[in-house]
Structure 1
Amino acid sequence: MTLFLVIGGIGLVLLLASLVFGDLFESFGVGEGGLSGIAAGVGAVVFGASGVIAFSADLGFVWASVIGIGFALVAAFVSQRFIHRLAATEDAPPPPLEGAFGMTTATTGPGGGEVRLEGVQDLESRLAWADDEIPAGTRVQVVAVSGSRVLVRRA
């Protein structure tokens, strides 16, 4: 029974470390597209827990090991599938703003202003500034980005 508890404990440490610090296997170049640290941790925890339960039911060490391995493989496979599905749903990074066109919605100059950009998906309106004063309703192009603000010039 000690073996099941130790492996389950190691799996729990691996699982928690992977959740807190990111996938540990990727840090060492292992698991690229294969088994993640989270899935391995889940498998080890399930192995330990199911092995302890089976051993406590007087099934003997061999049967407890077979049951533990079976449940661990299923749990690791299922969790890895969920991890791949979640990774596939990640949003793509926003497109670069340099070169985007838009219209000033307020007078924009060195002191600031606002523009509405075309074709930008995350935020349509942005705080802006310009080297020269640009009146509201003027077509502009983004020259540079500083945080969430954009530097614009007349298009």
Structure 2
Amino acid sequence: MTVFLVVGGLGLVVLLASLVFGDVFESIGVGEGGFSGIAAGVGSVVFGASGVIVLNSHLATVWAYVIGVGFAIVAGAVAQLLIKRLSDTEDAPPPPLDGAYGMTTATTGPGGGEVRLEGVRDLEARLAWSHEDIPAGTRVVVVGVSGSRVQVVRAS
């Protein structure tokens, strides 16, 4: 029974570490969709738990290992499949804003302003600034980005 408790406990540590600090195996170059610390942790916990349950049911030790390994493989595979599906649904990074055209929606100058950019999916309007005052309704182009704010100049 000690083997099952130790493996299950180590699996729980790996699982919690992967959930709190990010995937453990990815940080050492094994992860990136190939093998997940979360799936390994789930498999180890299931192995330990099912082994203890089988032993407490007074079955032979060999059955505890067979059932534990079988359940661990199934649980790890299901966890890895779910993790892969979730990672495939992640949003793509936002498009680069340098060179994007738009229109000022408020007077924009060194103190700030606002623009509506064309062809940008994530936000319709952005806070903006420019070195010169640009009146509302003027066509502009993005020449710099600082966080969510953009620096603009009049479009030629």
Q: Indicate the TM-score class for this superposition, using the shorter chain for normalisation.
A: over 0.9
Task: After TM superposition, give the deviation of residue 32 of structure 1 in Å.
Answer: 4.3
Is 1:3 the equivalent of 2:3? yes
* Aligned mates of 1:112, 1:99 — CA distance in 2: 19
Residue 60 of structure 2: aligned partner: 60
* Aligned mates of 1:39, 1:118 — CA distance in 2: 42
Residue 128 of structure 1: aligned partner: 128
Provide structure 1 residue ranges, at least 5 long, that are not aligned to the other structure: none
Query: Percent same amino acid among aligned pairs?
Result: 75
- Residue 142 to residue 32, structure 1, CA distance change in 2 (3 Å): closer
Is 1:119 the equivalent of 2:116? no
Task: After TM superposition, give the deviation of residue 60 of structure 1 in Å.
Answer: 1.5
> Residues 78-129 of structure 1, C-alpha deviation per residue, up to 9 Å, x if partnerless?
0000010001000000001111110000111111111011111111111111
> Residues 21-64 of structure 1, C-alpha deviation per residue, up to 9 Å, x if partnerless?
11111112224432211100000000000000011001111001
TM-score if structure 2 supplies the norm length?
0.96
Provide structure 2 residue ranges, at least 5 long, that are not aligned to the other structure: none
- Residue 30 to residue 114, structure 1, CA distance change in 2 (3 Å): same
User: Is the contact made by 2:23 and 2:31 (CA closer than 8 Å) also made in structure 1?
Assistant: no
Residue 79 of structure 1: aligned partner: 79
What is the root-mean-square deviation of aligned Cα atoms in Å? 0.9
* Aligned mates of 1:32, 1:124 — CA distance in 2: 33
- Residue 118 to residue 39, structure 1, CA distance change in 2 (3 Å): same
Corresponding residue pairs, total: 155
Task: After TM superposition, give the deviation of residue 16 of structure 1 in Å.
Answer: 0.3
